[in-house]
Amino acid sequence: MFDVIIYAILIYVLTYVILFVFFDGDLETVFYEKFGKPIGHLRGKVVFVTGASSGIGEYTAVALAKYGVKLVLTARRKEELERVKKQCIEASKNQLSQNDVLVIPMDITDLSLHRKNWDYAVRHFGKVDILFNNAGRSQRALFETIDMGVDRQMFELNTFSVINLTRIAVNYFNSVGGGQVAVVSSLAGVIGVPFSSTYDATKHAVHGYYNALRAEKIGRGLSVSIVCPGPTSTNFLSESFTNTVGQKYGKSVQSTDRRLTAERCGHMCGIVLANKIRESWIALPPLIFFTYFAVYCPVFYNFILKTVGPERLFKARDSQELTLEEAYPSKRR
């Protein structure tokens, strides 16, 4: 019996090692991509997408449009939303008409607009089936130098706007007998990563809210999903907060950087929605492996962190060398 247990453990570990070497998602997500419901299972449903003008929001919208999913596209920049709308209609190959992709310009931090625009989408389509919260910004900053104004702005954008819109959606889904809410978090919402403490905190807070919501609604017709991408090829890095209010990080993602493509991330988000996956981790190897150790073997993770050091972890995350004097020229001494 002891030998059987040992062999079972070895097989389990080997399975995960193979997974982390060859795949870009956690075991559950990879399984559902191969054997679960395809994105086409969502055909005809209406998905409300925030932050749809670029990055993961844009490519998730396109991935859904390919399978005839109707879309509500929201973000601040109307011209970019119109560009994405055109892209979605073309990707649908005549499955979607102009009327099947609704553009709603909206500053997600203006909470007074949430109910108005949600109700507008419901009137337009007669329903909304899924809320996909994607809007948000990252951060690069040294903990002790961050102005509290940055903390407040980031929580308003990454956390409070998400929760306010989610509550509106949940109340609507309660009234119609069910629905689905999903949020794009980050691996930084699963573990603490260096040089983005406010961003980490906003994503950890979202996990707390969404995990509590899921616990309240089990068996009551509401599906709750959290998507946790690792480094992805979008414009997020240049738009990231720093330690100073009004300042952007300004560094560009390079084509040679080791990152998940936005197209791949958008496709995987579609898989998460189609299969109602509880929590999905998506990243190139070895970051999923690293995350598993951080969650399930924290002592070993701390050893790795001490051995590797925060600067190397930063390089693995952003594919860039970190020099604090260059990265944070306004650092207070």
Catalytic residues: 199
DSSP sequence for 9-52: HHHHHHHHHHHHHH-SB-HHHHHHHHHS--GGGGTT-EEEEEST
The radius of gyration computed from the CA coordinates of the chain, to the nearest angstrom, equals 20
Q: Is the dihedral of CA 198, 257, 265, 14 positive or negative?
A: negative
Tokens standing for residue 185: 């978090």
DSSP sequence for 231-291: SEESSHHHH-B-SSTT-B--PPPPTTS--EEHHHHHHHHHHHHHHT-SEEEE-STTHHHHH
Check: CB of residue 245 under 8 Å from CB of residue 224.
Answer: no
State which H helix or E strand residue 222 sits in: strand 222-229
Residue 47 CA neighbour count, 13 Å, CB half: 33
